[in-house]
Amino acid sequence: MQIGIVGLGKMGGNISVRLTRHGHDVVLFDRDPEVVSKVGARAEAGKTKPATGLKDMVGKLTADRKIIWLMLPAGEVTEAAVKELDGLLGRNDILIDGGNSFYKDDIRRAAELAKKGIHYVDVGTSGGVWGLERGYCMMYGGTKDATDHIDPILRALAPGLGDVPRTPGRDKPGMDPRAELGYLHCGPAGSGHFVKMVHNGIEYGIMQAFAEGFDVMKSKNSTALPEDQRFELNMPDIAEVWRRGSVVSSWLLDLSAQALANNPDLSNYKGDVADSGEGRWTIEAAIEEAVPVPVITASLFTRFRSRTGNNYAEKMLSAMRFGFGGHIEGTNN
């Protein structure tokens, strides 16, 4: 299939390259022409075309149904791109937002674009800087017509069955086989980003638990404790042994173990932990639904506190964020 990708940052560039590896043709656009050239050089030969802007991109998409994937920061940048493309796309064309937009914005955009017959699909995309090789877990919302049409694109980006053991009991009726492959149609427009939003809220809580636990262990040598109760614990070795058969083993623990092996004191991190919005939105949704979420709320507030003075726990959070997403301290990127 042919698709246009707008925004070639850490994830957008790798999404483009992965699609070309699976035989898809990609029209590339980024506000930095040098980035377009670099992504094109990494892609499969002859499978990409550069575009100088959104109008040029639409002109270079020759399929009967034009497909454009936005991989831009949530908010004004994405909003501006959607408005411009509203005037460039036509009936039955498909506009995908693969960033981290607020799900209520998706619902509004889908309704506005539907007036012209344009389909809007919101794709919550998880995989960070590792997605090129590992694939991307995707949760998406939109019309069945549009999501069925772009299924070959989503299947190419998804991790596939891989070596993850199959869940017993998934042969029952009503269970979507695509979930086993790492991508799922969650419902109408907005539902994909809603599920991804909650996913990220959960991520906040898991990361916070790891960070606090390692901080407790590292502080076990405190002079405030009786001398016979002080332990000098090896953080890299503890992270490693937990990776091997422990019930808390996970990709986040893998990333923590790697960061600790490289620098046990994590002195290469300041511990200023940003939040990119999804944690706040998850809490807002919980308030609207009267659902208690104390763990996610506390983890968000800890990120706020980290920007006024931090400790080993915040450095652990920074290390994990950099590990899975390449996030730089002091920014939301």
Catalytic residues: 196, 203
Cβ–Cβ contacts within 10 Å for residue 175, how many? 12
CB 69 within 8 A of CB 98: yes
CB 126 within 8 A of CB 137: yes
42 burial type by CB count under 10 A (0-12 exposed, 13-18 middle, 19+ buried): middle
Cα–Cα distance measured from residue 305 to residue 303, given in angstroms and rounded to the nearest whole number: 5
CB 217 within 8 A of CB 280: no
Helices (H), the chain: 10-21, 33-42, 54-60, 76-86, 103-114, 131-134, 144-149, 151-157, 191-218, 235-243, 251-262, 278-289, 294-306, 312-325
In order, the DSSP letters of 168-200 are TTTTSTT--GGGGGTEEEEESTTHHHHHHHHHH
Amino acid at 101: S
Question: Which residues share a beta bridge with 48?
Answer: 26
Q: At a CB cut-off of 8 Å and minimum separation 6, what does 111 contact?
A: 189
